Amino acid sequence: MMLGGWSAPAGIGAASAALRPSSLPSQPAERTLCGRRGRRRQADPVSESLLLLGDEPTLAQVQQAVSPALGTWARRPHAANAAFMGLADQRRPGVAMLVLTCMRDQRVEVSALHCSTTISACAKAGRHDLAIEGLALTHHFRVAPDEFCYGAAISACGKAGEWRCAVMLLDDMPTRRVTPNVVNCNAATSAYEKAGQWQCALLLYSGMPTRRVAPDAVSCNAATSACEKAGR
């Protein structure tokens, strides 16, 4: 896979194998899942069924688990959001990718939100490599990646200390006709900060206006923290 050339594996089967949950940290299924800002939400029944399949579900098992919901998802694609969020909460990017594959095979619309949530699952599982691959595979699902897909992948790289990958993704966004926003730039600045690259952090911060992005307090704090950690 190449970032600049946007090269992806030849087939989705290879990606599904690479994303098998057996290589990922897992957590037991719970009746309730923690949402944003620590709020508790009732677990989605489809994600519960998927989590009960264990660490190594086959594509056929995933297909069986999601089949009762596919009709609803076909009519209202956003109805699948809860299932993907549940899988992301439980750090199951491999299962989420298999769900995307089932949706594509059954000609159910896959959205950018489904993809960005899957990429976030990769980040939560500590797998920045899978996050990058998930971003590259969006075209297999006929999805144009948006700023949220990129943001999830950039954050995954930053958390893993892979600042070069984070910045390459940020720089790749305009070539894919995606306009970086302040969250994307802040994630890349934080990647520099975590890696001790204070000069690069300052350059990115000062260059945000040239990207038509207005820095905010988070931008300033990330750049300042990078300098402080370097004793500057």
**pLDDT at 44 (0 to 100):** 79
Q: Are 78 and 68 in contact (CB under 8 A)?
A: no
What's the CA gap between 189 and 154, in Å, rounded? Answer: 10
Please give the model's pTM, rounded to 2 decimal places. Answer: 0.79
What's the CA gap between 117 and 69, in Å, rounded? Answer: 18
For the cut 50, the answer to whether the pLDDT of residue 29 exceeds it is: no
Percent of the chain having pLDDT more than 90? Answer: 77
**pLDDT at 12 (0 to 100):** 37
Question: For 195-210, what is each residue's pLDDT tens digit?
Answer: 999 999 999 999 999 9
Segments of 92-150 assigned E as strands: none
Q: Between vectors from CA 120 to CA 116 and to CA 122, what angle results, nearest 5°?
A: 120
For the cut 80, the answer to whether the pLDDT of residue 109 exceeds it is: yes
If you ran DSSP here, which 8-state letter would residue 14 be given?
A: H
Average pLDDT estimate for 220-231: 90
**pLDDT at 230 (0 to 100):** 80
Instruction: Give 88 or 31, the one with higher predicted confidence.
Output: 88
Which pLDDT band holds residue 232 (cuts at 50, 70, 90)? confident
**pLDDT at 231 (0 to 100):** 82
Burial class of residue 131 (count of CB atoms within 10 Å of its CB; 0-12, 13-18, 19+):
buried
**pLDDT at 7 (0 to 100):** 43
Question: For 153-186, what is each residue's pLDDT tens digit?
Answer: 999 999 999 999 999 999 999 999 999 999 999 9
**pLDDT at 32 (0 to 100):** 45
